[in-house]
Amino acid sequence: MTVNETMLAGRKAIVTGAGKGIGEAIARQFAAAGAEIVLAARTGGDLERVAADIRAEGGTAHCVSADMGDVGQVTALVEQAAALMGGVDIVVSNAAATGNAPILDLSVDEWNAVQQVNVTGTLALLKAAFPHLSAHPAGTALIISSIRGLSGTPGTGAYGASKAALNHLTRTLAAEWGAAGIRVNAILPGPVFTPLMEESARINPKIREAYENCSPVAGWCLPEDIARPALFLVSDAARKISGNLMIIDGGLTAINQDCLLLAD
C-alpha cells in the first residue's frame, strides 16, 4: 500500500505504546500520511528512536512518557499532547499489559493490574481526550483490542477479559459520542509478529511454527498489517464507520480454532 502523504494532513494524533510493535507501525504510518504525532509509552528510549526516524522523513513527532496504569499520568499525557500540537483529533489506545497465567494461578492484584492498564487506562485516555476530539469535525478514537476478547483461551483470562471489555467500550462510546461527531472503532488483531512475540518464539520455537500456520491465510501478521487498516479507520475514507470491531487475523476466528495447544 502506498501511503497518500496528505491523507492525514493537518491531523494531530496520540499513539500509546508507540515505541515498538503495533504502536510503532501505526505511528510511522500516520506520520507518513501527514499527521503530527505524540508518541507515548512508559519509557522514552524506543520513543526517541521512532521519533528520530519520523523527523528524518520530514514528519513531526513528539515524545511523552506516560504509564497507562496511572490515571493521573494518562490525563497529563492528553493535556501535554494538546499543548504540544495545538489540539488532538486522533487518539489510538494501543499500550497493553498481558498477565498470562491460568485463572487459578492469578492473584486478584495481578488481575486488577491488567484491567487497570488495558481498560481503566484506555477509558481515562479517551475521556480526557473527549473535549479535544469533539472540538474537531473529524475527531476519532481507535482502540487496539484483540481476538482474545471474543472467546476463552487458556492462560490468557485477565488479558482476554480486558479485551472483551474494550470491545464493549468501543461500541458503547460509538453510541454515546456519535452525537458529538466522534467516531470510535477497534481493531482486533490475531497473532502478530511483534518484538514480544519474536522473543516468545525464540524461547519456544514451536510457537513460531504454530502461529505462522494456524490461519487460512498462512504466514505471520506483521505490525504493518494492523497499521494500514488503522490509517483507513481514522481517515475521512471511513467517515461513516463507527462502532466497528475490525478483526485482522488471517481468517483464524472464521474457522473457530486457536493455536495455543502447544507442547511445553
Dihedral class, residue 170 (left if φ above 0, else alpha if ψ from -120 to 50, else beta)? alpha
Contact between 63 and 85 (Cβ < 8 Å): no
**Known catalytic residue: 159?**
yes
Cβ contacts of 160 within 8 Å, gap of 6 or more: 146, 148, 149, 151, 152, 153
Q: What's the confidence (pLDDT) of residue 261? A: 45
Q: Is residue 106 part of a domain?
A: yes
Instruction: Give the mean model confidence (pLDDT) for residues 10-19.
Output: 97
Task: Give the CATH number for residue 142.
Answer: 3.40.50.720
Q: What percent of the chain has pLDDT over 70?
A: 95
pLDDT, tens digit, for every residue of 159-199?
999 999 999 999 999 999 999 999 999 999 988 888 777 77
Give the predicted TM-score (pTM) of the model: 0.92
pLDDT, tens digit, for every residue of 202-231?
777 777 777 777 888 888 889 999 999 999
Phi and psi at residue 89, to the nearest 5°: -130, 0
Q: What percent of the chain has pLDDT over 90?
A: 76
Q: What's the confidence (pLDDT) of residue 176? A: 98
Q: What's the confidence (pLDDT) of residue 195? A: 75
Q: What is the dihedral of CA 146, 152, 155, 160, to 10 degrees?
A: 30
Q: Which three-class secondary structure state does DSSP give residue 41? A: strand
Q: Is residue 34 part of a domain?
A: yes
Q: Is residue 214 part of a domain?
A: no
Residue 222 is given by DSSP the state: P
Q: Is residue 206 part of a domain?
A: no
Q: Is residue 165 part of a domain?
A: yes
Q: CA 27, CA 14: separation in Å to the nearest integer?
A: 9
Q: Is residue 92 part of a domain?
A: yes
More confident residue, 196 or 242: 242
Instruction: Give the mean model confidence (pLDDT) for residues 54-77.
Output: 97
C-alpha cell of residue 241: 464507520
Number of domains the chain is built from: 1
Cβ contacts of 199 within 8 Å, gap of 6 or more: none
Q: Is residue 260 part of a domain?
A: no
Residue 1 has pLDDT above 50, yes or no: no
Q: What's the confidence (pLDDT) of residue 200? A: 74
pLDDT, tens digit, for every residue of 121-164?
999 999 999 999 999 999 999 999 999 999 888 888 999 999 99
Instruction: Give the mean model confidence (pLDDT) for residues 247-263.
Output: 70
C-alpha cell of residue 53: 526516524
Q: Would you say how long the chain is, in residues?
A: 264
Q: What's the confidence (pLDDT) of residue 210? A: 75
**30, 159, 177, 211: the active-site residue:** 159
Which residues form the domain of 107? Answer: 12-192+226-247
Instruction: Give the mean model confidence (pLDDT) for residues 98-113.
Output: 92
Q: Is residue 172 part of a domain?
A: yes
Residue 20 is given by DSSP the state: S
Q: What's the confidence (pLDDT) of residue 205? A: 78
Q: What's the confidence (pLDDT) of residue 2? A: 56
